[in-house]
Amino acid sequence: MRCVEVRKRVVVAMSGGVDSSVAACLLKEQGYEVIGATMLIRKGEKAKDPLDGCGAQYVEDARQVAQQIEIPFYVFNLEEEFEREVIQYFCDEYGKGRTPNPCVLCNQKVKFGAFSKKALELEAGYISTGHYARLEYDEMARRTLLKKGLDRKKDQSYVLFSLKQNQFQRALFPLGEYKKEEVRRKAHELGLRVHDKPESQEVCFIEEDSYHPFLKDRLKGAVGPGPILDRSGEMLGTHKGVPFYTIGQRRGLGLAKGVPLYVIGIDREKNAIIVGEEKDVFADTFIVDSLNWIVTPHEKTLPPAQVKIRYNHPGSDAVLSWTGDDEVEVKFNIPQKAITPGQAAVFYDGDTVLGGGWIKEVRSQEHRA
Q: Up-side HSE of residue 2: CA atoms within 13 Å toward CB?
A: 1
DSSP reduced 3-state for 208: coil
257-266 CB burial, b ≥16 within 10 A, e <16:
eeeebbbbbb
Can you give the three-state secondary structure of 59-126, one letter per residue? HHHHHHHHHHCCCCEEEEECHHHHHHHHHHHHHHHHHCCCCCCHHHHHHHHHHHHHHHHHHHHCCCCE
- Annotated active-site residue 3? The verdict is no
Catalytic residue among 54, 91, 103, 204: 204
> What value, to the nearest 5°, has the Cα angle with vertex 190 and ends 185 and 192?
90
Other C-beta atoms within 10 Å of 84: how many?
A: 13
Burial of 70 (0-12, 13-18, 19+ CB in 10 A): exposed
Q: Which of 161, 145, 147, 174 minimizes the C-alpha distance to 12?
A: 174
- Annotated active-site residue 106? The verdict is yes
Catalytic residue among 25, 54, 91, 106: 106
Tell me which residues are annotated as active site.
Answer: 106, 204
